[in-house]
Amino acid sequence: MKIIYSCVAVLALGGMAHAQGVPQGDKNAPQFAPAWPTQTRAPALRSGVQMQIEVLAEGLDTPWGMAVLPEGGIVVTERSGALRLVQNGTVGEPITGVPQVLAQQQGGLLDVALATDFATSRVIYLTYAKPMAGGMSATAAARAVLSADGTALMEVRDVFVQDPPSPNAMHFGARVVVQGGYIYITTGEHFTNRERQFAQDLDKTYGKVVRIAPEGGAAGGNPFDNEVWSLGHRNVQGAAIRADGTLWTLEHGPAGGDELNLITRGANYGWPLVSYGVNYSGAAVGTGKARAEGFTEPQYYWDPVIAPGGFAFYSGDMFAGWQGDVLAASLNPGGLVRLVLEGDRVVGEERFLDGEIRVRDVEIDRDGAILILDNTDGRLLRLTPE
C-alpha cells in the first residue's frame, strides 16, 4: 500500500539571519531568550522533497522502538509487551522469551537495539518497564540472543535496573544505543515533584544517561564510579550516535523546553533546577531560570514542544544532501522533524507530516530509506523521495 505526501515549503536556507522559524504556536515561556540566535526556532528550510510513503506493517499495538536487521527485516516493540519481526510484508507472531513488562500508563516494552556484533552473536538489548514488588516499577534493560529464525529470545537476563524503583509509571526514558563496547540507556525521573529531584542525585539512576558494559555493570571510565554518564535530565526518549562518535539525545521538557542535547562525560543538563519551559500549571521550574553556571546548554530547544520520540542521524544516499541531519520523531503536534547542523549548532528546521501522525521512532533502512513508527494508527512506514 502506497500513498504520496508532498512537503509544503516555507523558506529557503538563504538569508537565515532574518528568516522565520517553522509555523508554530505561541511560546509557553516567552521570558526566556536563547543563548545564541539559532538555539530555538532556527530558520525554516525548504528541501523540495516529496515523500512516497509505503506501509510495511499495520495493526501494531502502540509501537515504540525498532531495529533494522542486517539480513533484512525489522524488529519492532509494542508497548503492551510484544516484540515482532516484520519481514517481506508480514508481521510475525510475538517473539517468545520477552521479559514480563508493566504495561501501564507510559510503561511497557520500549526500545530495542542490536549489539555491534549482532551478525555473528545475534545479541539484542531491550528496554522495558520492569514490574517490581509492592506495585513499583523501574526502567530496565535486558540482554538476549535472538534465534536464527527470529521467533524466540534465549539467554535473557537484565543488565540494568533503575534504582530505586518508583510507584509512578511515568517518565521511563528507555532509549538504548550501542557504541562499540558500551551500552547507553536513557532514564526518566518518573514525573512527580518529589522524584524529579532525583535527577540531580548521583546515587540514583533517575533522569540520567547511564553507560554500562555489554554484560552489565558500570563501564570503565565512567565519571562517578557508577553507571551514571550524565545527569539532570527529565525524560530522554531519543538517543543516537553521530558519525563522529558523539552521543546526542532528545528530551521531553514540561510546557516548552524540549531539548536536543550533545551528551558529554559527567555533564549536568540542569533538570529540575533550570529549564527553557515552565510547569504545566504555568509555575516556574526550579530556580525559574533557563540556564545557570555549571549546567550544559541544550544544542536546540523547542517552545512549544514537539514531544520528541526517537531520532536518527541520516546516513545513506537516497536523500541527497541530508547526510548527518537529525531526523526526529514528533508526537505532538506530530510528524517528522529535520534539523540541519553546522558543526554542533542547528542552522535550520524542516517538518514533514506536520500534525498528521504521532511518530514514536525513526530509523534508517539499509538502503537509506527513512523508517518511522506511527503511533496514531499502529503502522511501520517507509519513506522514500518521489
pTM of the prediction?
Answer: 0.95
ω into 165 cis (within 30 of 0): no
> 2-385: what CATH class?
mainly beta
Q: How far apart are CA 159 and CA 217, in angstroms?
A: 7
Q: What is the pLDDT of residue 15?
A: 37
Domain regions of the chain by residue span: 2-385
Q: Is residue 152 exposed (0-12), middle (13-18) or buried (19+ Cβ within 10 Å)? A: middle
Q: What is the pLDDT of residue 19?
A: 74
Q: What is the pLDDT of residue 10?
A: 33
Give kind and range of the element (H or E) at residue 85. Answer: strand 83-87
Mean pLDDT by groups of 10 residues along the chain of 386 residues = 42 46 95 98 95 97 98 97 96 98 98 97 98 98 98 98 97 96 97 98 98 97 98 98 98 98 98 98 97 98 98 96 98 98 98 96 98 96 96
Cell match 539467554: residue? 155
Q: Which three cell numbers stand for residue 23?
A: 509555523
Smallest CA-to-CA distance from 182 within 274, 128, 116, 240 is with 116
Q: How far apart are CA 24 and CA 19, in angstroms?
A: 14
Q: Which of 171, 190, 233, 252 is flagged as catalytic?
A: 171
Active site residue 171: yes
For β-strands 2-6 and 74-78, DSSP reports them as unpaired
SS3 call for 96:
strand
Q: Is residue 365 exposed (0-12), middle (13-18) or buried (19+ Cβ within 10 Å)? A: middle
CB 242 within 8 A of CB 250: no
Instruction: List b or e across 9-42, with b for residues whose CB sees 16 or more CB atoms inside 10 angstroms.
Output: ebbebeebeebebbebeebbbeebebeeebbbbb
Residue 101 is given by DSSP the state -
How many whole angstroms from its chain centre is CA 342? 21
Q: How far apart are CA 203 and CA 114, in angstroms?
A: 29
